[in-house]
Amino acid sequence: MKTLIYSSFPLNCIPDSNGRISTRHINGQRIQLSYCSGWGDFPHLEISLIGCWSSWDNSIRLYPERAFSQFQKVINSSELIVGFNSLRFDDNLCYANGIEIKTNYDLLTEVWAAAGMPREYTWGVTRKGYNLKNLVAANTNIKLLEKKELAPIFWQRGQQWAVADYLVNEILALKQIWIHRDNLIDPIEKTVGLHLRGYNAPLGTESRTIISPISETEIELQELDEIPL
């Protein structure tokens, strides 16, 4: 089965919990960052970068805005779409940016179910702590971006390569969670195994090719060295 694991990073910054926006300083100069109105403001969040792993060629690729049509072709070639919280976030963000995608297997909802919670977020029932950062920390040695809302700040500050690196790490982490989905460590209970619902899809191999479209001055696809786990 042709499996696609994907994630996306927003372009515009998200206000804090009090609705405040802020300016940042680079080399002593104050800059104004562009913001949306919140996590649910999909039309104005926009997308800086989309990353995915495709099982049929065992590769990771990154897609900026001008390559979204290429990403759509990859989606159309897929038989199974996997993400983390992608039913609520990434799918909607992509749709708002003209990309048609529908997650078949959301790792977050499956983790909730495996931990004895509803697949849909339920106030007072869904327990805290089952986020991607904690899940990855409990099950891999991959370092993720501290908070996803930092990605737009790095991007707007001109640190596109940093965002690309973080997104590659997130895709690698999602792939590892997917591969070991039948026996994950619970990030809260630590010793309790999480056994996610099965799906008829290949687990893949450990090697892969990283292809990145980010350069300092323009966007282009270029093959990078293979990165070991």
Q: What pLDDT is attached to residue 65?
A: 94
Domains annotated for the chain, with CATH where assigned, are 3-223 (3.30.420)
62-107 pLDDT tens trace: 999 999 999 999 999 999 999 999 999 999 999 999 999 999 999 9
In a 10 Å sphere around its CB, with 0-12 CB exposed, 13-18 middle and 19+ buried, how is residue 220 labelled? exposed
Per-chain mean pLDDT for the chain: 82
pTM of the model: 0.82
How is 29-95 classified by DSSP, letter by letter?
A: EEEEPPB-SSTT-HHHH-EEEEEEEETTTTEEEEE-GGGHHHHHHHHHT-SEEEESSTTTTHHHHHH
Q: Is 216 exposed, middle or buried (0-12, 13-18, 19+ CB in 10 A)?
A: exposed
The rounded percent of the chain whose pLDDT value lies above 70 is 79
**Distance between CA atoms of 223 and 91, rounded to whole angstroms?**
27
